[in-house]
Amino acid sequence: MSAPASPLRLGIAGLGTVGIGVVKIVQRHADLLAARSGRAVQITAVSARDRAKARDADLSAYAWETDPVALATRDDVDVFVEVMGGHEGAAKAATEAALRTGKDVVTANKALLAHHGQALAELAEAQGRVIRFEAAVAGGIPVIKALTEGLAGNRIRRVMGVMNGTCNYILTRMETAGLPYDTVFEEARQLGYLEADPTLDVGGIDAGHKLSILSAIAFGTRISFADVVLEGIERISIDDIRRADDMGYKIKLLGVAQVTGRGLEQRMTPCLVPSTSPLGQLQGGTNMVVLEGDSVGQIVLRGAGAGEGPTASAVMGDVVDLARGFRMPTFGQPAATLADPVAAVVSAPAPYYLRLELLDKPGALAKVAAVLGEAGVSISRLRQYGHADATAPVLIVTHKTTRDAIDAAVAAFAATGVVAGETVALRIEEV
């Protein structure tokens, strides 16, 4: 009879919401984890900046390291669990130290991977180690496993999704409560939904990190976060939300990655999606990722994108895989085989939504239509609303066209003398 396997020993760096969630799962489900992985999973040491801070878990049984690098290099740690956050400084140094001293790494740090994923993957493979990061993208949704394992036999055509719950909360709250952006933004801040730097959320940066990671796995390329086109939700008004709804659409901060003849497209921008689509029906802080493969077709993954339980659940899924002995390259294939991506200079054509304020002048609509025609943009649908003061809102849905053509038309509107204020132009994504 073979001897029982030795315990898998964890060192957890970061005792915020996610770190404490991991501690709770290990403490609460010790028997379940052992039964499912074939060996005990234990925490031997932890690290955080403030040891005296009150935390919702008993940490008295664990060794304490103030320096996460010291934690990462301890002899009694097999897996370094990095849930500190940040793409430089302690998180990067400790992760590198763990790999160099023979530790596997489980991380929830999407920024670290978006900025340094290729170098870390190469270091891990050189050391015979593994980096797992299910928790870094879409919280509790197992999208990394779906891409690297379940869909390994597919050529991925497109990845898209709502990957920042805070932005989705703001947009759906604006719609359901009829509140302006600034009011809901402040509400989200008071509820603690926003990052310390809110632009990481509302500017699309956090979601862009996630998209760049999924893109690398889906298309076998090196991570290229710098090539992600980012546009936040700060300019979306309650009028846009209402008018889009009138036309049968919802506005979402939508990530889209696909390879076309133009190269690799990566966009994290506000888009319109059909109200009846799964993405259009997504409410509140929930995330959704849509994957399209040549064999499987389209699959939709939906769930909690953040929070203590969902994110800690994803961390522990990776820990259990390591305890079972399951190992694979960081991005699903050896780092050396990942291609240098060729960024698309021009995105694939798509329909666009335009909202403009038309001055009450004879022939105003004809002038707008003429400008669009000269730019090569044809109108699919048009709706004009009643006059408000001296202007009337006009909504236009175009046939498929390029962003360059839309930008050229919008720039030319100023010379017509019939368009007031700033024209809103949003891509319509067909899902």
Return the active site residues: 210
- Going by C-alpha positions, the residue among 261, 256, 228, 298 that lies closest to residue 427 is 256
SS (H, E, C) the chain: CCCCCCCEEEEEECCCHHHHHHHHHHHHCHHHHHHHHCCCEEEEEEECCCCCCCCCCCCCCCEEECCHHHHHCCCCCCEEEECCCCCCCHHHHHHHHHHHCCCEEEECCHHHHHHHHHHHHHHHHHCCCCEECHHHCCCCCCHHHHHHHHCCCCCEEEEEEECCHHHHHHHHHHHHHCCCHHHHHHHHHHCCCCCCCCHHHHCCHHHHHHHHHHHHHHHCECCCHHHCEECCCCCCCHHHHHHHHHCCEEEEEEEEEEEECCEEEEEEEEEEEECCCCCCCCCCCEEEEEEEECCCEEEEEEEECCCHHHHHHHHHHHHHHHHHCCCCCCCCCCHHHCECCCECCCCCCECEEEEEEEECCCCHHHHHHHHHHHCCCCEEEEEECCCECCEEEEEEEECCECHHHHHHHHHHHHHHCCEEEEEEEEEECCC
| Strand pairing report for 249-260 and 263-274 | antiparallel
Ramachandran class of 387: left when φ > 0, alpha when ψ lies in -120 to 50, beta otherwise: beta
| Strand pairing report for 41-47 and 8-13 | parallel
Whether the Cβ atoms of residue 305 and residue 164 lie closer than 8 Å to each other: yes
Whether the Cβ atoms of residue 270 and residue 252 lie closer than 8 Å to each other: yes
430: tokens are 């067909």
C-alpha to C-alpha distance for 71 and 103, rounded to whole angstroms: 11
